[in-house]
């Protein structure tokens, strides 16, 4: 007996069609069973299946999948019902003993693929596609009359079993929908660069077979922007030792539809989360740098959302980030690092993922202006306690991205009772301008925003 080769992977995956299934059931409820009722049988589809010994497993499956009510009272439908032998062969293939060992959500998806709208006698089944109640899937019919084939290798063994609300055709195999893994869905959606990188990194096999996963997939344009911004070539990125960790940072375990997005962290398979923030217009951002441009692309083993920039997992805490930034070819925070050391704040700016801080970081030019206004030559001339108070006024004890800021909503700092006031329109924190080139720098323990003025607490 032929069995579609997708059966093992289909049965072992947790499918992500549940939202679509609810939609299908709504459509089923809207169908009208008035008219065209065969007088020969006064039993509905579910009851008819229960009365046929060779469909007893199918009838049990319908009940377990919570489809007995729609098949008992709605319609008209045509059902291609696998025989008991077909189910037993399937059980041996996937390593289960009975229908009750199949997860109900998988079972429901599978059975919906065997149901089409309307009452179809076998003589009226023609070559072509029959849309099923499993969203965006159809059965392919070839042949006609006594030689009808479904999806090439499934045959009807008993035809035209009438019911009050439809027709049953018994088939010799369980029919499986075509495979649509995350990798296939990415390819079909045009995320070709992401697909190529996943293959090169070795993650493709995981996303093709395991799951379920939620994938935030950068578009091709997102990768092009990322390479340009970081002054690297595609070859450089492909050969980077960070490639796998960067790609893995876009993958989370489980199913997260866009309706479930919430502001805050989302764990990834790297064990380092990324962060949702919400702009004043309601748009959600990831790590303050990536917008969401496409949502809820379903796959057999997960769901995909498309983003417009590449996410990079943080590897440094705030102090380390500033220290490295102060030693590059164009240092901007050399004096801030010096001030942190003089004020004895190194420990406060160290830590990991569980330590959430936001630092509004004055640039070197900002500190130079402060020293000039104070008529001082160096930071050493500022008393350590005063310098410490100034710096604590720049630190907010939570992780805030620029999109999270709201006009005139105060930000409590590490100085008790002292707050910062954002002005979103002018991109100000108090009187300091936020610098676009230094916004939303993500670290292990927080976020850094560059500003052009040293803030003085009142």
Strand 264-266 with 128-131, pairing: unpaired
Q: Contact 15/103 with Cβ under 8 angstroms?
A: no
Q: Which two tokens stand for residue 104?
A: 């109900």
Grouping H, G, I as helix, E, B as strand and the rest as coil, residue 262 is: coil
pTM for the full predicted model: 0.73
Q: What is the pLDDT of residue 172?
A: 97
For residue 118, CA distances in Å to 88, 131, 221, 445 come to 29, 11, 45, 59
Contacts with 143 (C-beta within 8 Å, 6 or more apart), sequence order? 127, 149
Q: What is the pLDDT of residue 8?
A: 44
Q: Residues of 165-198 as b/e, b for ≥16 C-beta within 10 angstroms? A: bbbbbbbbbbbbbebbbbbbbbeebebebbbebb
Q: Find out whether the peptide bond into 132 is cis, omega within 30 degrees of 0.
A: no
Grouping H, G, I as helix, E, B as strand and the rest as coil, residue 184 is: helix
- Taking the C-alpha atoms of residue 82 and residue 303, their distance in angstroms, rounded to an integer, is 29
pLDDT, tens digit, for every residue of 78-137?
Answer: 999 999 999 999 999 888 999 999 888 889 989 999 999 999 999 999 999 999 999 878
Burial (CB count within 10 angstroms: exposed 0-12, middle 13-18, buried 19+), residue 416: exposed
Q: Is the dihedral of CA 149, 150, 154, 156 positive or negative?
A: negative
The domains located in the chain, with CATH, are 7-171 (2.30.180.10), 182-307 (2.30.180.10), 318-451 (2.30.180.10)
Burial (CB count within 10 angstroms: exposed 0-12, middle 13-18, buried 19+), residue 239: exposed
Q: Which two tokens stand for residue 402?
A: 């620029």
Q: What is the pLDDT of residue 29?
A: 46
- Per the DSSP assignment, residues forming a β-bridge with 442 are 447
Q: What is the pLDDT of residue 263?
A: 97
Question: Cα dihedral angle (40, 46, 51, 55), rounded to 10 degrees?
Answer: 120
Contacts with 383 (C-beta within 8 Å, 6 or more apart), sequence order? none
Average pLDDT of the chain to the nearest whole number: 90
Contacts with 204 (C-beta within 8 Å, 6 or more apart), sequence order? 183, 195, 198
Q: What is the pLDDT of residue 135?
A: 84
Q: What is the pLDDT of residue 458?
A: 86
Q: What is the pLDDT of residue 264?
A: 97
Q: What is the pLDDT of residue 180?
A: 86
Q: Residues of 125-146 as b/e, b for ≥16 C-beta within 10 angstroms? A: beeeebebbbbebbbebeeeee
Q: What is the pLDDT along the chain (458 residues), one digit of tens a residue?
A: 344 444 444 443 433 333 344 334 444 444 443 334 444 668 999 999 999 999 999 999 999 999 999 999 998 999 999 999 999 999 998 889 999 998 888 899 899 999 999 999 999 999 999 999 998 789 999 998 889 999 999 999 999 999 999 999 999 999 998 888 999 999 999 999 999 999 999 999 999 888 899 999 999 999 999 999 999 999 999 999 999 999 999 999 999 999 999 999 999 999 999 999 999 999 999 999 999 999 999 888 999 999 999 999 999 999 999 999 877 767 799 999 999 999 999 999 999 999 999 999 999 999 999 999 999 999 999 999 999 999 999 999 999 999 999 999 999 999 999 999 999 999 999 999 999 999 999 999 999 999 999 999 98
Q: Contact 183/204 with Cβ under 8 angstroms?
A: yes
């Amino acid at each position: 007996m032929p069995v579609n080769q997708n059966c093992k992977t289909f049965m072992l995956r947790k499918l992500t069609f549940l939202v679509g299934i609810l939609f299908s059931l709504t459509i089923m409820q809207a169908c009208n069973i008035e008219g065209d009722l065969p007088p020969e049988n006064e039993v509905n589809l579910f009851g008819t299946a229960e009365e046929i010994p060779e469909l007893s497993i199918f009838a049990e499956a319908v009940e377990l999948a919570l489809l007995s009510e729609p098949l008992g009272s709605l319609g008209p439908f045509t059902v291609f019902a696998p025989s008991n032998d077909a189910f037993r062969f399937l059980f041996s293939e996937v390593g289960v003993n009975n229908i009750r060992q199949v997860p109900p959500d998988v079972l429901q998806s599978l059975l919906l693929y065997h149901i089409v709208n309307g009452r179809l006698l076998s003589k009226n089944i023609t070559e072509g596609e029959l849309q099923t109640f499993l969203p965006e899937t159809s059965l392919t019919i070839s042949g006609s009359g006594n030689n009808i084939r479904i999806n090439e290798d499934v045959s009807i063994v008993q035809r035209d079993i009438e019911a009050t609300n439809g027709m049953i055709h018994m088939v010799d195999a369980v029919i499986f929908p075509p495979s649509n893994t995350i990798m296939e869905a990415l390819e079909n959606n045009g995320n070709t660069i992401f697909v190529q990188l996943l293959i090169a990194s070795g993650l493709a096999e995981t996303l093709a077979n395991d799951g379920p996963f939620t994938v935030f997939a950068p578009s091709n344009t997102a990768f092009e922007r990322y390479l340009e911004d970081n002054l690297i070539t595609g070859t450089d990125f492909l050969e980077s030792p960070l490639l796998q960790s960067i790609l893995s940072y876009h993958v989370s375990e489980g199913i997260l539809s866009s309706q479930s997005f919430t502001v805050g962290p989302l764990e990834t398979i790297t064990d380092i989360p990324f962060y949702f923030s919400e702009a004043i217009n309601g748009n959600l951002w990831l790590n303050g740098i990536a917008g969401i441009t496409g949502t809820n692309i379903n796959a057999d083993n997960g769901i995909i959302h498309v983003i417009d920039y590449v996410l990079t997992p943080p590897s440094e805490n705030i102090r380390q980030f500033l220290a490295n930034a102060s030693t590059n070819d164009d240092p901007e925070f050399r004096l801030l690092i010096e001030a942190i050391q003089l004020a004895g704040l190194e420990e406060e700016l160290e830590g990991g993922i569980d330590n959430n801080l936001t630092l509004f970081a004055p640039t070197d030019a900002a500190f130079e202006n402060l020293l000039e206004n104070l008529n001082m030559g160096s930071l050493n001339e500022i008393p350590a306690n005063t310098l410490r108070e100034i710096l604590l006024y720049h630190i907010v004890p939570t992780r805030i991205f620029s999109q999270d800021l709201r006009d005139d909503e105060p930000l409590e700092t590490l100085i008790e009772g002292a707050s910062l006031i954002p002005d979103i329109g002018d991109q100000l924190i108090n009187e300091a301008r936020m610098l676009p080139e230094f916004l939303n720098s993500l670290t292990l323990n927080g976020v850094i925003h560059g500003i052009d003025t040293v803030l003085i607490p009142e």
